[in-house]
A and B are shown apart, each in its own frame.
Chain A
Amino acid sequence: MNVLGQQRWLLTGLGVIVLTNAIVLSAAALNRIGEPESRLLLSERELALPYAGGNRRANSGLALRLEWRVALDGDSPHNIAYARYERQPDWLDEKRMSDLGFDTRKGAATAEARQAFLRQLSRPALIVFELAGPAWQRALQQARDNADRHAAAAAANRGNREFAEGAKAARAFVVQEEAEHTRLFAIDAGSDAATLRQRYPERNRFLILRGTVRPAERLRDGQWTLAGRLSEIAIEEIHVPYTQRAILDELSSTPQGKPHRPAPRYEVQLAVGQRLEPWIERIARLPDQPPPAGDIGSN
C-alpha cells in the first residue's frame, strides 16, 4: 500500500486546500475590518486603465494600474518625465536609507564604499504617497516656469523653429501636468506604519503602501552621495469589483476622440485596510471636460 492510505491522503489534500483558503480569506477579511487605514478619492490620473493589447482579450478580469511618481529637482519636461520612471526621490538620502536598515557606515567617499552600499539588495519598506499636495504643486510650478522660459526664448529667437517647438512642447507639458499626469507623489518611507501615520495624519490625503527600496548613488555638484530608489510597490494593480466595472468597460471599449483631451473620465474611491492592502470602494463617471485652450494634439 502507499505510505498514506487513499482516504487519508484525500483528507490531507482537501485539508491543505481548505486551510490555505481559510488563511487567505481571513487575512483579506482582517484587512477590511473596521475603518480603513486611509481612504482617498483618486481619478483616472492615478488609477489608469490597463494598456490595450492581446493579453486583455485572454483575461476578462479588470485591474487599474496605480500611477505614482516622485518629485525631482530640475525644470525641463525631459527631467520631469525621467522622474516618473527613475523613482529616485531627493528625500531618500543616506540617513533615510540607514533608517530603513541599509548599512551606510562606509559612507560615499570612495568608489569601493559606494560599491559596498550598492551591493545591498532591496528591502521592504512602507511608502507614503501624497495626493495633490505640495509635491504636485511644485511639479506644476516647475512645468509652468519651464514653459515661461521656453516662451521667452522663442520670443527672443522669433523664426527659429527649434525654439518654437521647444515652447510648444513645454506648453503642452503644463496642460498635461494640470489635467493628465498623476498627482500621487511618493514623499516618504519608513518601516513603522504607526510612526508614519503620526507624521502624516490626514487619511484622505496620505496613502501608506508596502513597497521596496533599493540602494542607489547620486552625483550632485561633483559630489557622490548615498541614496535610494523606490523599486516597486507590492500591489500596483488593483482589482476592479464586478459591481463597479460597468463604467470602465464602457470607457475601455470607447476609443478616445481626436485630438486627445487629457481629462480624467472617472474617479475612484480607494480604501487601504489594516494590512495596507488596497481595494476599490466606488467608481463614478466624471462629466466630460471642455477641450483645453492649448493645442496639444501633437503630443
Chain B
Amino acid sequence: MREDSSGANPMSPPTLNLQARRQAQLRADSIAVFQDELARLQNEGVLTLDSSQQQAIAAHHTSLLASYVRDFAIDPTRRARRLSLGMRVASLLGALALAASVFFLFYQFWGYFPEVAQVSILITAALATCGLTNWLQQRDTTGYFSKLAALVAFTCFVLNLAMIGSLLNVAPTDKALLPWAALALLFAYSGDQRLLLVTGILCLIGFVAARVGTWGGIYWLHVGERPENFFPAAALLLALAAVGWHQPYPGFAATYRVFGLLTAFVPMLVLGHWGYGSYLDLPPDLIEGGYQVLGFITSGLAVYFGVRRDWPETVNTGTTFFIIFLYTKFFDWWWEVMPKYLFFLVLGLIALLVLLVLKRLRRSPGQATR
C-alpha cells in the first residue's frame, strides 16, 4: 500500500493519529503556500509551467488533500481553518458548559438516592465517561467531541471524589489532587488536550505545594500563606519541560515552561512586596529586597535562555515579569515624588530600551545560525 509523506496510510480506516494528523495539516498548509507562491511567480513571469505540468500538480494536490480530509479531518483551505477555529471555541465552551451541567445535576438530585446508589452512580459515571472518551478518541477524527468528552469525564472524577468525601465525612486532603492530576494529564496526552494539560499542571502545583507545606508542619489548606511553598513545584515543572516525552505534542513542553515560570515569578512578586509571608526569619524589608533582586535576575535569565534556545513563550513570560518587577519598583520609588507625565515617560523609555535589547539579542550571531 502507498504511504505518503505524512506517514499515514491513506487506505487505513479513519483513526485519530495525532502525529500523522499534525503532519498532514502541515503538508496541507505547505500546499496552500506553494500554490500562492507559484501563482505569484507565474504572474511575475519568473516561472512558467505548461498546462500538463499544472494539471499534474493540481491533481496530485487534490488527491493528497482529499485523502487527508478523509483520514484526518484536516482543514484543507483557509476558510476551513477559520471555521475550525470557531469549532474549537464552540467545543471548549460546550465542554465547560457540559461539565458545569454534570456538576449541578449531581448536586440537584444526589440527595434523593441512598448512599450505596450515590456511591455507585458516582463511580460508574467516572468510569463510563472515561470509557466514552476513549471510544470517541478512536472514532472522532476531528477531536472536537473527544475533547469535550474528556473534560466531562474529568469533571465526573472530581465530583466522584469530592462527593464521596462529603457522603462519608472524609476529611479534605491535598492527596486528592494527585489522582486528579494523573487523570487530567492522561486525557491531555491521549487526546492532545491543552486545557486538560493546564488542569493537570494546576493540580500538580497544588499537590506539590501542599505537600511541601505539610512537611513543614502547616495545615495544607493554608499553603498559599507561604508563597515559597510553590518554588519546588516550579522546579518540578521546569524539569518536566526538559524531558523528552513531550516531543510528539507541540506546545506541551512550552506549557510546562510557562507554568513553571509563573509558579516561580508570581510568588517572587508577592514576596517582593510582602516579606512577612516568607519562611525566612529575617526583617521583612530585607526579604522583600532580596526577592525583588531575585525576580530581576531570574526573569532576565528566562529571557536569556529563551532567546538562546528559541523558546518564544519563555522569552515572553520572562520579559513580562521583568517589566512587572521593574514597574512595581519604579512605582515604589517614584510615584509619589515624580510628576505623573515624567513617571510614565520613564516607563515608556524603559519599554523602548527593553525592545532594543531584545532586538539586539535576536540579531546575535548565535541566533543567526539557527
Contacts of A111 in B (CB 8 A): none
Residue pair A277, B169 in contact (C-beta under 8 Å): yes
A58 at the interface (CB under 8 A from B): yes
Residue pair B169, A20 in contact (C-beta under 8 Å): no
B160 at the interface (CB under 8 A from A): yes
Number of chain B interface residues as a range? 35 or more
Contacts of B218 in A (CB 8 A): 121-123
Stretch at the interface among B57-65, B91-99, B106-114, B359-367: B106-114
In the complex, the chain A residue whose C-beta lies closest to that of B171 is A234
Min C-beta distance of A153 to chain B, whole Å: 45
Number of chain A interface residues as a range? 35 or more
Q: How far is the CA of A9 from the CA of B225 in the complex (A)?
A: 37
Per-residue 0/1 for B103-139: is the Cβ within 8 Å of any A Cβ (1 yes, 0 no)? 0100111111111001100010011001101100110
Q: How far is the CA of A277 from the CA of B182 in the complex (A)?
A: 27
Contacts of B138 in A (CB 8 A): 6
Q: How far is the CA of A59 from the CA of B104 in the complex (A)?
A: 8
Residue pair A3, B171 in contact (C-beta under 8 Å): no
A133 at the interface (CB under 8 A from B): no
In the complex, the chain B residue whose C-beta lies closest to that of A18 is B127
Per-residue 0/1 for A5-19: is the Cβ within 8 Å of any B Cβ (1 yes, 0 no)? 010011011101111
Which one, A3, A10, A27, A122, contacts B219 given CB within 8 A?
A: A122
Residue pair A24, B170 in contact (C-beta under 8 Å): yes
B231 at the interface (CB under 8 A from A): no
**Chain B interface helix/strand/loop/mixed:** helix
Residue pair A235, B171 in contact (C-beta under 8 Å): yes
Residue pair B276, A119 in contact (C-beta under 8 Å): yes
Known: A6-B134, A10-B130, A21-B123. A60 touches B222 (CB 8 A): no
Q: How far is the CA of A59 from the CA of B107 in the complex (A)?
A: 5
In chain B, positions 151-189 with a C-beta closer than 8 Å to chain A are 157, 160-161, 164-172, 179, 182-183, 186-187, 189
Residue pair A121, B130 in contact (C-beta under 8 Å): no
Known: A14-B127, A58-B107. A28 touches B168 (CB 8 A): yes
Residue pair A2, B111 in contact (C-beta under 8 Å): no
- From B113, B186, B281, residue with most partner A Cβ within 10 Å: B186
Residue pair B245, A9 in contact (C-beta under 8 Å): no
Residue pair A13, B187 in contact (C-beta under 8 Å): yes
A224 at the interface (CB under 8 A from B): no
In chain B, positions 42-99 with a C-beta closer than 8 Å to chain A are none
A198 at the interface (CB under 8 A from B): no
**A-B pairs with beta carbons under 8 A, tally:** 132
Which one, A17, A60, A116, A212, contacts B108 given CB within 8 A?
A: A60
Residue pair A60, B134 in contact (C-beta under 8 Å): no
B251 at the interface (CB under 8 A from A): no
Min C-beta distance of A61 to chain B, whole Å: 4
Contacts of B219 in A (CB 8 A): 121-124, 212
In the complex, the chain A residue whose C-beta lies closest to that of B111 is A60
Per-residue 0/1 for A112-132: is the Cβ within 8 Å of any B Cβ (1 yes, 0 no)? 000010010111100000000
Stretch at the interface among A77-85, A239-247, A285-293: A239-247
Residue pair B107, A61 in contact (C-beta under 8 Å): yes
Contacts of A20 in B (CB 8 A): 161, 179
Min C-beta distance of B248 to chain A, whole Å: 7
Q: How far is the CA of A53 from the CA of B58 in the complex (A)?
A: 67
A1 at the interface (CB under 8 A from B): yes
Residue pair A12, B157 in contact (C-beta under 8 Å): no
Min C-beta distance of A185 to chain B, whole Å: 22
Residue pair A16, B182 in contact (C-beta under 8 Å): yes
B217 at the interface (CB under 8 A from A): yes
Q: How far is the CA of A279 from the CA of B19 in the complex (A)?
A: 51
In the complex, the chain B residue whose C-beta lies closest to that of A121 is B218
B308 at the interface (CB under 8 A from A): no
Residue pair B169, A235 in contact (C-beta under 8 Å): yes
Residue pair A58, B115 in contact (C-beta under 8 Å): no
Q: How far is the CA of A62 from the CA of B110 in the complex (A)?
A: 10
Q: How far is the CA of A123 from the CA of B112 in the complex (A)?
A: 38
Min C-beta distance of A36 to chain B, whole Å: 13
Q: How far is the CA of A210 from the CA of B221 in the complex (A)?
A: 14
In the complex, the chain B residue whose C-beta lies closest to that of A19 is B179
A201 at the interface (CB under 8 A from B): no
A194 at the interface (CB under 8 A from B): no
Q: How far is the CA of A161 from the CA of B107 in the complex (A)?
A: 51
Min C-beta distance of B18 to chain A, whole Å: 6
Q: How far is the CA of A234 from the CA of B170 in the complex (A)?
A: 9
Which one, A2, A21, A58, contacts B160 given CB within 8 A?
A: A21
Which one, A21, A31, A122, contacts B164 given CB within 8 A?
A: A21
Q: How far is the CA of A122 from the CA of B113 in the complex (A)?
A: 37
Which one, A9, A27, A62, A63, contacts B186 given CB within 8 A?
A: A9
Q: Given contacts A60-B111, A122-B222, could you give 5 more A-B pairs where the C-beta distance is less than 8 Å?
A: A6-B190, A17-B130, A17-B183, A121-B219, A234-B171
Q: List 10 A-B contacts (CB under 8 A).
A: A6-B134, A24-B161, A24-B165, A24-B170, A63-B166, A121-B213, A121-B219, A122-B219, A235-B169, A238-B169
Residues of B at the A interface (CB closer than 8 Å) are 17-19, 104, 107-115, 118-119, 123, 126-127, 130-131, 133-134, 137-138, 157, 160-161, 164-172, 179, 182-183, 186-187, 189-190, 213, 217-219, 222, 225-226, 245, 248, 276, 281
Q: Which 6 pairs between the two chains have the least Cβ-Cβ distance?
A: A60-B111, A28-B168, A10-B134, A234-B171, A121-B218, A20-B179
